[in-house]
């Protein structure tokens, strides 16, 4: 096992990884920007190294500085967390070239899954159902018209290198197809340095269902069931739950088997998530995330498995500590992403946290790097914490969530806590009756 791991991230996820390392007897190295000198992940690490100025491009994305930090501290492995360098194949390659372990899949796998077109092809070849659409990047208009006509309008134009919900355009009819393709391609070129786009059937009211997998380097692969991440705003997840009200044990076992078999066929290693849209009883693959996800704690809550611990063990070459038969899904878990934002306009609200009280009690977990007197810097993502609850059933989990949200105090900045509390008063949400567009409609009506 590794003796020392460098965590190339910040905030709650850096803490989450440190916690797993501590329990495993692994020493931790934090890296931080000049804006994060007083951050919790720096205070709690065994060692820390400043890697540059506040903008992420000069610090958390600064590969030479991170590699140098790992070398001077003698770290044997680097955990990238999520975001930042976590899905950067070049970074994984560089870490490996410096005789350190990248805690994640191989650079080749990251590359394959990082391009949505090659990912979709690989998924299809491995037996995973995909969204109908073009099989490669669109290069000529006649082909685009033919594909769009065969799948039917509206269609969605997506960027091969897109991510974070960006790089998507809906085309309602043939008349706007050409202009939509051109806009999507030039926006993708500007945002991702890659103008390749493809066409997909636009699904009207699907749910976003994703399957968590674990695959060790010895050929053992298991799935840990699904998460329902349909509550989204601008394609960004706001609240996640496991299991999903939309699946039953048979469907779960069926899609779980398809995914584990496929992941094995691809030769995937590590933790990973295969994302689907689910409509009218059909699964449609949209992408694979080759890293730990923000919403992983709901899976931990219903399975009792520490995903980060398993991830680190697998990266060190150990065999999976669990078999498919031994995995049991117990109760219900819900996670709220709490952002330092105005709950109505979603304008970021960085600044000094004057007061902080964490909720507690049975079935309540708060993953957050906040403390009273901490100044939330304006440079990074506005998520300041994740509140995760677990109950024997969905009703108990939601009751507990309401109780925990009402206990939580974050003074001095605006947060999305009131938004989550309002959601918990909404009959459709309470009934589990929602899809990927439901939240935006609900927000529009409230502001109406
Ligand atoms: P990203 O990598 O940017 O997160 P994804 O492919 O995972 O992109 O899609 C993000 C979200 O966009 C999905 O959860 C869903 O809300 C929406 N979306 C993606 N593909 C489709 C589609 N074919 N039809 C309708 N909505 C889609």
By most ligand atoms within 8 Å of CB, the mutation choice from 129, 160, 168, 438 for ligand 1 is: 168
pLDDT, residue 70, reads 98
Q: Please give the angle made by the CA atoms of 422, 425 and 429, to the nearest 5 degrees.
A: 100
Residue 167 has pLDDT above 90, yes or no: no
pLDDT, residue 228, reads 98
Residue 163 has pLDDT above 90, yes or no: no
pLDDT tens digits, 342-388: 999 999 999 999 999 999 999 999 999 999 999 999 999 999 999 99
Question: Exposure pattern of 11-42 as b/e (b: 16+ CB <10 Å)?
Answer: bbbbbbbbbbbeebebbbbbbbbebbeebbbb
pLDDT, residue 448, reads 78
pLDDT, residue 56, reads 98
Please, what sign has the CA dihedral across residues 231, 387, 5, 218? negative
- Average pLDDT, integer, range 47-56: 98
Contacts of 346 (CB under 8 A, 6+ apart): 233, 339, 416
pLDDT tens digits, 182-194: 999 999 999 999 9
Longest CA pairwise span in the chain (Å): 62
pLDDT, residue 292, reads 98
Q: CA of 96: how far to CAs of 4, 10, 77, 104, 107, in Å? A: 16, 22, 9, 11, 9
Q: Which of 14-18, 161-165, 268-272 is predicted with the least confidence, judged by mean pLDDT?
A: 161-165
pLDDT tens digits, 131-144: 999 999 999 999 99
Helical H segments across 50-198, by residue range = 63-72, 89-97, 107-114, 116-125, 141-151, 174-192
pLDDT, residue 321, reads 85
Question: pLDDT class for 77, splitting at 50, 70, 90?
Answer: very high
Q: For residue 319, how many C-alpha atoms fall within 13 Å in the half-sphere facing its CB?
A: 5
The two structure tokens encoding residue 116: 């949505």
How far is ligand 1, taken at its centre, from the CA of residue 346, in Å? 21
Question: pLDDT class for 24, splitting at 50, 70, 90?
Answer: very high
- Do 109 and 290 touch, CB atoms closer than 8 A? yes
Could you write out the DSSP letters of every residue in 20-42?
Answer: HHHHTT-EEEEEEEGGGTT-HHH
How far is ligand 1, taken at its centre, from the CA of residue 79, in Å? 26
Could you write out the DSSP letters of every residue in 272-317?
Answer: EEEEEEEETTEEEEEEEE-S--TTHHHHHHHH---HHHHHHHHHTT
How far is ligand 1, taken at its centre, from the CA of residue 398, in Å? 26
Contacts of 186 (CB under 8 A, 6+ apart): 195
List the chain domain ranges: 4-103, 132-201, 207-446
Domain 207-446 sits in which CATH superfamily? ATP-grasp fold, B domain (3.30.470.20)
pLDDT, residue 352, reads 98
How far is ligand 1, taken at its centre, from the CA of residue 204, in Å? 11
Residue 263 has pLDDT above 90, yes or no: yes
> Mean pLDDT for the chain?
97
| DSSP bridge partners of 376 | 351
Q: Which residue, chain included where needed, has tokens 């939309």?
A: 246
pLDDT tens digits, 321-345: 899 999 999 999 999 999 999 999 9
Q: For residue 240, how many C-alpha atoms fall within 13 Å in the half-sphere facing its CB?
A: 26
- Average pLDDT, integer, range 35-41: 98
Residue 117 has pLDDT above 90, yes or no: yes
pLDDT, residue 435, reads 98
* Index of the ligand 1 atom closest to the CA of residue 208: 14
* Index of the ligand 1 atom closest to the CA of residue 235: 11
Which residue in 324, 217, 323 sits closest to 270, CA to CA?
A: 217
How far apart, in whole angstroms, are the C-alpha atoms of residue 395 and residue 417?
19
Q: Which of 17-21, 33-37, 163-167, 382-386 is predicted with the least confidence, judged by mean pLDDT?
A: 163-167
Can 132-201 and 207-446 be said to share one CATH topology?
no
Question: pLDDT class for 287, splitting at 50, 70, 90?
Answer: very high
pLDDT, residue 341, reads 98
How far apart, in whole angstroms, are the C-alpha atoms of residue 154 and residue 141?
16
- pTM > 0.95: yes or no: yes
pLDDT, residue 382, reads 97
By most ligand atoms within 8 Å of CB, the mutation choice from 113, 165, 275 for ligand 1 is: 165
Residue 165 has pLDDT above 80, yes or no: no
The two structure tokens encoding residue 289: 């995330």
**Architecture in CATH of 132-201:** 2-Layer Sandwich (3.30)
By most ligand atoms within 8 Å of CB, the mutation choice from 286, 289, 291 for ligand 1 is: 286
* Index of the ligand 1 atom closest to the CA of residue 229: 14
User: Of the CATH numbers 3.90.730.10, 3.40.50.20, 3.30.70.890, 3.40.228.10, which one belongs to the domain with range 4-103?
Assistant: 3.40.50.20
The two structure tokens encoding residue 169: 């355009």
- Answer whether 203 contacts ligand 1 (Cβ < 6 A): yes
- Do 9 and 19 touch, CB atoms closer than 8 A? no
- Answer whether 209 contacts ligand 1 (Cβ < 6 A): no
| Known active-site residue 166 | no
Question: pLDDT class for 60, splitting at 50, 70, 90?
Answer: very high
Q: CA of 339: how far to CAs of 106, 134, 410, in Å? A: 32, 37, 11
How far is ligand 1, taken at its centre, from the CA of residue 420, in Å? 23
Question: pLDDT class for 178, splitting at 50, 70, 90?
Answer: very high
pLDDT, residue 447, reads 84
The two structure tokens encoding residue 235: 């394609």
pLDDT, residue 241, reads 98
- Average pLDDT, integer, range 262-286: 97
Question: pLDDT class for 1, splitting at 50, 70, 90?
Answer: very high
């Amino acid at each position: 096992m590794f003796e020392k791991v460098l965590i190339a991230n910040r905030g709650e996820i850096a803490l989450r990884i440190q916690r797993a390392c501590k329990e495993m007897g692994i020493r931790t190295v934090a890296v931080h920007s000049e804006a994060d000198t007083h951050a919790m992940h720096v205070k709690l690490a065994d060692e820390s190294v400043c890697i540059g100025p506040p903008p992420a491009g000069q610090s958390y994305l600064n590969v030479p500085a991170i590699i140098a930090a790992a070398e001077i501290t003698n770290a044997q492995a680097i955990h990238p967390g999520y975001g930042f360098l976590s899905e950067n194949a070049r970074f994984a390659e560089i870490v490996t070239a410096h005789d350190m372990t990248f805690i994640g899949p191989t650079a080749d796998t990251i590359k394959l899954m990082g391009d949505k077109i090659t990912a979709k092809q690989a998924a299809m070849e491995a037996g995973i159902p995909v969204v109908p659409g073009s099989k490669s990047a669109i290069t000529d208009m006649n082909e685009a018209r033919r594909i769009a006509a065969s799948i039917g309008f509206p269609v969605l134009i997506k960027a091969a290198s897109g991510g974070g919900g960006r790089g998507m355009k809906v085309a309602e009819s043939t008349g706007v197809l050409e202009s939509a393709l051109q806009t999507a391609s030039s926006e993708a070129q500007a945002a991702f340095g890659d103008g390749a786009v493809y066409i997909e059937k636009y699904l009207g009211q699907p749910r976003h269902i994703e399957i968590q997998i674990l695959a060790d380097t010895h050929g053992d692969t298991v799935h840990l069931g699904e998460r329902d991440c349909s509550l989204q705003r601008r394609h960004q997840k706001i609240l996640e739950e496991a299991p999903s009200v939309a699946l039953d044990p048979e469907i779960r076992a069926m899609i779980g088997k398809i995914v584990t078999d496929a992941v094995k066929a691809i030769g995937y290693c590590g933790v990973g998530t295969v994302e689907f849209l689910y409509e009218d009883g059909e699964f449609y693959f949209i992408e694979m995330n080759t890293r730990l996800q923000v919403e992983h704690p709901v899976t931990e809550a219903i399975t009792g498995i520490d995903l980060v611990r398993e991830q680190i063990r697998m990266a060190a070459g150990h065999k999976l500590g669990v078999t498919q038969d031994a995995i049991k899904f117990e109760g219900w878990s819900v996670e709220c992403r709490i952002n330092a934002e105005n709950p109505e306009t979603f304008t970021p609200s960085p600044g000094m946290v004057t007061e902080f009280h964490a909720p507690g009690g049975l079935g309540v977990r708060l993953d957050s790097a906040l403390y009273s007197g901490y100044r939330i810097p304006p440079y990074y993502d506005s998520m300041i914490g994740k509140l995760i609850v677990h109950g024997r059933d969905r009703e108990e989990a939601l009751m507990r969530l309401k109780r925990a949200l009402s206990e939580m105090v974050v003074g001095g900045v605006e947060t999305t806590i009131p938004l989550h509390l309002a959601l918990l008063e909404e009959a459709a949400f309470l009934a589990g009756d929602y899809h990927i567009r439901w939240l935006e409609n609900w927000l529009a009506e409230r502001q109406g």
